[in-house]
Chain A
Amino acid sequence: MKNLNNYGYAFIAPFWIIFLIFNIYPVALTFYYSFTNYSGSGTAEVVGLANYQRLIADSYFVEAFFNTWKIWGVNFALQIVIALILAAIFSDMRVKMKGLSFFRSIFYLPNLITVSSVALLFGILLDWQHGSLNMVLMNIGLISEPINWLNEPASAQLSVSLILTWMWFGHSFIVVMAGVSGISTDFYEAALIDGANRWQTFTKITLPLLKPILLYIMITSLIGGLQLFDLPMLLTDGIGSPDGSLNTMVLYLYNQAFKYNNYGYAAAVAYGLFIITIIFSAIVFKSMYGNERKQARRV
């Protein structure tokens, strides 16, 4: 019986070998580089905590941090609200919406387009002088001057948020729908008999039971959102124009490493990002589950 354990190691070895080479090694190497002034070629000189000191005082990183939050926050709020409304409509027992699978694929479609195509598409739609959006708005008389959407910090950030919402609400909708269909219809029938209205059913039954799903969406979206990179990179000049408003944390990391060749500092930025992600995931987790535990203890 004693030998039995060794077979287990043999089976998990392939995973561990690959994991060590492609995950742990780069992570550890990045950690090492974050203490050096490595410039991408030549030798790396250890500089101690200098990179981290610089990171804390770096106004561009702070700016990137808030930009990322603003863009992600607006996008997430809209995305989840749209997904919940749609889920409420499609799961309503009295409405009995048809064509769920059809709409599901329609809503999901934007997500299948590569981000570079999306960026190109919206670059043309939002163009200052010749963009379709400005043409439409001017023709119906809402604006008299064309708006340079991607040239004003606020509108540029909002544009990115809305594009992200457009790309991801279908995805959230699918996950929420999956959660909703997992809720037993008994609850809804009972509520119906008790005379609960739609809003009550939604807030007292659907939402509480969807909590784990919402938490899941939130955490994955948060982790993805903190890594926001491709759209801001492609929509404007790749260094966060206009006025640094599209400068996100990962974009900043990328530019420090691959454009300015400050690999050591970029590694420190990466670890800063890592710590921020951990902190916020923990906060989300605590705020969603912390109460439950307290209640459980009270009971």
Chain B
Amino acid sequence: MTYSIFFWLNRNRFRLYFYRKFETGFVNNIIFSNLERGSPMKKVVGLIMSLVLLFGVLAGCSNTETSGDAKSDKKKDVDLKVWSFTDELKKPITTFEEKNGVKVELTIVPIADYPTKLKPVLESGVGAPDVFTGEIAFLKQWVNAGYWENLSKEPYNVNEIADNYVPYVFDLGKDEQGDVRALSWQTTPGGLFYKRSIAKEVLGTDDPKEIGEMLTSMDKVFEVSEKMKEKGYRMFPDEGSIRWFSQGDDPQPWVNENDELKLTDQKIEFLDYAKQLRENSYTALAPEWSPSWFEAMDKPIKVKEKGKETETEVFSYVLPTWGLHSVLKTNVKESDGDWAVTSGPSPYFWGGTWLGVYNKSENKELAYDFVKMMTQDDEFLTDWAKETGDVLSYLPVTNEIKDDFSDEFLGGQNNYQFFLDQAKSIEPGIVTKYDQQLDTFYGNAVQEYVDGKKSKDEAIAEFYKKAQNAYPELKVPKK
């Protein structure tokens, strides 16, 4: 907070140091004392000295320019620049380089800084990438901002291959005019991951199909939760787990085409469901991404509530495709192989990465070649899917490979087939650019209602107020 004092102290020390040094130093002698003597020759020397100093600094300033030139020399080495927020693209880029004999430079910016760093670069076009990825959280904003090349036009014509993609994934890459701006190689539908051993003990079976049938509506979820509780287990780690099912069977966008904010009855019902989960002790009070949330995946955890401490195990986690590889697998040791995935009350998706060509790129052809490899190349995508287990959105490849998948972690279940089926039942067209913030605001409202800090009406009113404050252009219901 007060770090400025350090600069201040240091600066004074420096000032003193330089003052002492130059007081008797030669620079002052040459420039000032000689000048006072008025010798014309020495005057010139003095002038030159100061000019040299000045130019030194100016050169320092303009260094960025020169290094910019140096980069354009380098540009001949680098044929394509790619920006992304994970290292996921590293391997595909190596493949692409080998295939085409080109050099690609990948810049990885952590997700928290990604939009803020990329935006000015795209606006000015200086040092901009030829290809860049976008995450679902800001995808809708970007497809409409016009940074990505229109892929529906010549020579790309991606609309011709629209049928090759999972519908919702292809649809999300479209801008307001319906032109495709970005494509994705993956689909990220969600499921409900549960522990087989607990399922067998409590529900009498561990078969994903049968379990899925026990969870087709929220009421049924609560029935199962009650059974879990009777045997000393908890259905979910926290109340937020069920938020993906809050859309119910009639998913609607947060904001409709008239810029009106819509809070559907299903979303309001979610408030009650969340409260019920807490009041009936169906959760382990381990908020998402907290240390205890991770801990509860593998081991029994202690829950303190109503004045006593109980040890319990969590039955299920609501996670999408990537949750399996980068959350469960990386945090689970003992229960490896004891998991399975099934469907919840409604299909949903969570996350996803899209990529497209920068519209001011000088190398659009090569840039699109890379996009093409990532999203349409049968050979590459087959290898990629087999290696990473990533669920692809490109159906010609998934249709080929989906039958042979089985995951040891999930006790040999074919999760690929499962997720593809889920992906196909996701309704396209409900994502808006407001989603991320509105979801956060609504999550807060739900939390405050569940904690008993606010009544239902107060929580909803607060949600409306926050939404209006963040997005003045929205028409928010007055309450």
Give the chain B neighbours of A194 by CB distance below 8 A: none
Looking at the complex, which one of A58, A127, A144, A242 makes contact with B291 (CB distance below 8 Å)?
A127
Contact assessment for A168 and B2 in the assembled complex, using a CB-CB cutoff below 8 Å: yes
Contact assessment for B437 and A217 in the assembled complex, using a CB-CB cutoff below 8 Å: no
Is B285 positioned at the interface, with any CB of A under 8 Å from its CB? yes
Is B71 positioned at the interface, with any CB of A under 8 Å from its CB? no
Contact assessment for A13 and B54 in the assembled complex, using a CB-CB cutoff below 8 Å: yes
Q: Provide the B4-45 mask, 1 if CB < 8 A to any CB of A, else 0.
A: 110000000000000000000000000100010000000000
Chain A interface: which size bin?
35 or more
Give the chain A neighbours of B4 by CB distance below 8 A: 220, 223-224
Q: Provide the B418-444 mask, 1 if CB < 8 A to any CB of A, else 0.
A: 000000000000000000010011001
Contact assessment for B291 and A220 in the assembled complex, using a CB-CB cutoff below 8 Å: no
Complex interface: stretch among B269-277, B339-347, B407-415, B467-475: B467-475
Contact assessment for B472 and A127 in the assembled complex, using a CB-CB cutoff below 8 Å: no
**Which of A13, A21, A168, A261 has the most C-beta atoms of chain B within 10 angstroms of its own C-beta?**
A261
Contact assessment for B1 and A258 in the assembled complex, using a CB-CB cutoff below 8 Å: no
Q: How many A-B residue pairs have CB under 8 A?
A: 107
Is A239 positioned at the interface, with any CB of B under 8 Å from its CB? yes
Contact assessment for B145 and A41 in the assembled complex, using a CB-CB cutoff below 8 Å: yes
Contact assessment for A258 and B145 in the assembled complex, using a CB-CB cutoff below 8 Å: no
Tell me the complex Cα distance, A256–B472, Å.
11
Q: A10-B54, A17-B57, A58-B469 are in contact. Are A243 and B302 (CB under 8 A)?
A: no
Contact assessment for A14 and B54 in the assembled complex, using a CB-CB cutoff below 8 Å: yes
Looking at the complex, which one of A40, A124, A128, A138 makes contact with B285 (CB distance below 8 Å)?
A128
Is B51 positioned at the interface, with any CB of A under 8 Å from its CB? yes
**Which of B305, B448, B470 has the most C-beta atoms of chain A within 10 angstroms of its own C-beta?**
B470
Beta-carbon contacts under 8 Å, A242-258 to B = 242-243, 255-256, 258
CB B206 to nearest CB in A, in angstroms, measures: 28
CB B205 to nearest CB in A, in angstroms, measures: 31
Looking at the complex, which one of A17, A54, A128, A224 makes contact with B58 (CB distance below 8 Å)?
A17
Contact assessment for A217 and B2 in the assembled complex, using a CB-CB cutoff below 8 Å: yes
CB A242 to nearest CB in B, in angstroms, measures: 8
Q: A130-B291, A168-B1, A220-B5 are in contact. Are A10 and B61 (CB under 8 A)?
A: no
Contact assessment for A228 and B1 in the assembled complex, using a CB-CB cutoff below 8 Å: yes
Is A145 positioned at the interface, with any CB of B under 8 Å from its CB? yes
Is B46 positioned at the interface, with any CB of A under 8 Å from its CB? yes
Contact assessment for B444 and A144 in the assembled complex, using a CB-CB cutoff below 8 Å: no
Tell me the complex Cα distance, A107–B34, Å.
52
Chain B interface: which size bin?
35 or more
Contact assessment for B61 and A127 in the assembled complex, using a CB-CB cutoff below 8 Å: no
Q: A7-B46, A17-B61, A237-B444 are in contact. Are A221 and B54 (CB under 8 A)?
A: no
Q: A164-B1, A224-B2 are in contact. Are A129 and B437 (CB under 8 A)?
A: no
Tell me the complex Cα distance, A258–B120, Å.
12
Contact assessment for B285 and A129 in the assembled complex, using a CB-CB cutoff below 8 Å: yes
Tell me the complex Cα distance, A265–B287, Å.
33
Give the chain B neighbours of A243 by CB distance below 8 A: 448, 453
Q: A127-B290, A260-B437 are in contact. Are A10 and B2 (CB under 8 A)?
A: no
Q: A128-B285, A237-B440 are in contact. Are A171 and B2 (CB under 8 A)?
A: yes
Contact assessment for A258 and B440 in the assembled complex, using a CB-CB cutoff below 8 Å: no
CB B400 to nearest CB in A, in angstroms, measures: 41
Contact assessment for A129 and B57 in the assembled complex, using a CB-CB cutoff below 8 Å: no
Q: Provide the B99-134 mask, 1 if CB < 8 A to any CB of A, else 0.
A: 000000000000000011001000100000000000
Is B53 positioned at the interface, with any CB of A under 8 Å from its CB? yes
Tell me the complex Cα distance, A54–B472, Å.
10
Is A187 positioned at the interface, with any CB of B under 8 Å from its CB? no
Tell me the complex Cα distance, A123–B239, Å.
20
Contact assessment for A7 and B50 in the assembled complex, using a CB-CB cutoff below 8 Å: yes
CB B277 to nearest CB in A, in angstroms, measures: 16
Tell me the complex Cα distance, A256–B437, Å.
11
CB A115 to nearest CB in B, in angstroms, measures: 9
Is B259 positioned at the interface, with any CB of A under 8 Å from its CB? no
CB B300 to nearest CB in A, in angstroms, measures: 13
Is A201 positioned at the interface, with any CB of B under 8 Å from its CB? no
Q: A10-B50, A129-B302, A146-B304 are in contact. Are A40 and B5 (CB under 8 A)?
A: no
Is B286 positioned at the interface, with any CB of A under 8 Å from its CB? yes
Q: Provide the A214-233 mask, 1 if CB < 8 A to any CB of B, else 0.
A: 00110011011101100000
Contact assessment for A129 and B61 in the assembled complex, using a CB-CB cutoff below 8 Å: no
**Which of A54, A58, A164, A239 has the most C-beta atoms of chain B within 10 angstroms of its own C-beta?**
A239
Give the chain B neighbours of A262 by CB distance below 8 A: 470, 472
Give the chain A neighbours of B89 by CB distance below 8 A: none
Interface residues, chain B, with chain A CB atoms under 8 Å away? 1-5, 31, 35, 46-47, 50-51, 53-54, 57-58, 61, 115-116, 119, 123, 141, 145, 285-287, 290-292, 295, 301-307, 437, 440-441, 444, 447-448, 451, 453, 469-472
**Which 6 pairs show the lowest CB-CB distances between chains A and B?**
A224-B1, A14-B57, A260-B470, A220-B2, A10-B50, A130-B292
A-B contact pairs, 8 of them (CB 8 A): A13-B54, A14-B58, A60-B469, A127-B290, A148-B451, A164-B1, A167-B1, A239-B444
